[in-house]
Structure 1
Amino acid sequence: MAADNSFDVVSEYDEQELKNALDQTRREIATRYDFRDATAEIKEEKGELIIRVDGDLRLKALRDILESKSVKRGIDLRTYDWGKAEAAGGDTLRVHVKLRKGLDDVAAKKIAKFIRDTFPKVKTQIQGEAVRVTGKSRDELQEVMTSLKDLDVERPLQFENYR
């Protein structure tokens, strides 16, 4: 009797690479001419970034810099959940950027339903912020992984604990 094979579908980012991308962004902002004598701050708090800038143009430029540094560091752009710009006093704007980590209930249920509908021989189980996928055939699990890469979920997906 063959043992079942399994893997976990998770959504995570490398925190050290995020810190490196933020440091590179801060360094570039400090040296760029269009940010000279301007307010441009990035604060890291638990699970989010708080960005404070002088105006919309600088906000767009800072976002472009942060996203380009993140891509170079291997951080998926779907990790960032950009909020709306709000007035922060003194002609500055504040933006709260939530960092998506883990699968919420909606995304986990969407993934589980997609797998159940597409691959009837594979079982799914939602375990907190991950989805465990179990099946007898390794080839079928590989097919599940490739089809999940094309699934439109608002967060990056990784596959762990492949056994």
Structure 2
Amino acid sequence: MPSFDIVSEIDEVEIRNAVEQTNKEVGNRYDFKGSDARVEQNDKVLTAFADSEFQLDQVKDVLVTKLAKRGVDIRALDEGKVEKVSGNKVKQALTIKTGVDSDLAKRIVRAIKDSKLKVQAAIQGDAVRVSGAKRDTLQEAIALIRKAVDDFPLQYQNFRD
């Protein structure tokens, strides 16, 4: 029986490279000379530091640009609140969302069931497995999910006949 998995994965190597490129560009830019602007990566959390909120926005813009150039979907970034560190210095945590959480998985399963397509969807940990009798109905299910979920980066893997 043909099937495929709906997952959400981010390439961590590309994220590390984008963070390094961001720090290099921020270190070389004239408007950041003498400032403590940088981005640090700790597992799935990126922390942006700057001397002011304006500079923090500039650092985030550079980071988003570098991530987009490297093919990382920026919808996977979840911005935390801006925190004051000391004096005028600020920081902000950017969390990288990976895996299909339970609410999104339930929304995907509900959309597939409501569409009346002849496929079955099952939640399996961080993924949703969709199986059906025909390859064409599975492709229709992929098109349906692409339209229904546009606020979260999803990939469709393990397409098997």
The reply to whether TM is greater than 0.5 is: yes
Instruction: Please state if 1:41 is matched with 2:38.
Output: yes
1:5: which partner in 2? 2
* % identical aligned pairs: 39
Render the CA deviation track for 1:6-40: whole Å, top value 9, x for unaligned: 00000111111111111111111011111111111
Aligned-partner Cα distance in 2 for 1:138–1:60: 46
Render the CA deviation track for 1:79-105: whole Å, top value 9, x for unaligned: 110111011112111111111000111
Instruction: Please state if 1:137 is matched with 2:134.
Output: yes
Q: Displaced runs of 4+ in structure 1, greater than 3 A? A: none
Render the CA deviation track for 1:101-145: whole Å, top value 9, x for unaligned: 001111111111111111431100000000000001101111111
SS of residue matched to 1:162 = strand
Unaligned runs of 5+ in 2: none
2:157: which partner in 1? 160
Unaligned runs of 5+ in 1: none
Aligned pairs for 1:1-163 within 5 A: 4-163=1-160
Asked if 2 retains the 8 angstrom alpha-carbon contact of 1:107 and 1:153, the reply is no
**Alignment RMSD, CA only?**
1.1
Aligned-partner Cα distance in 2 for 1:69–1:149: 25
Aligned-partner Cα distance in 1 for 2:70–2:34: 28
Q: Which amino acid aligns with 2:91?
A: R
Q: Which amino acid aligns with 1:88?
A: V
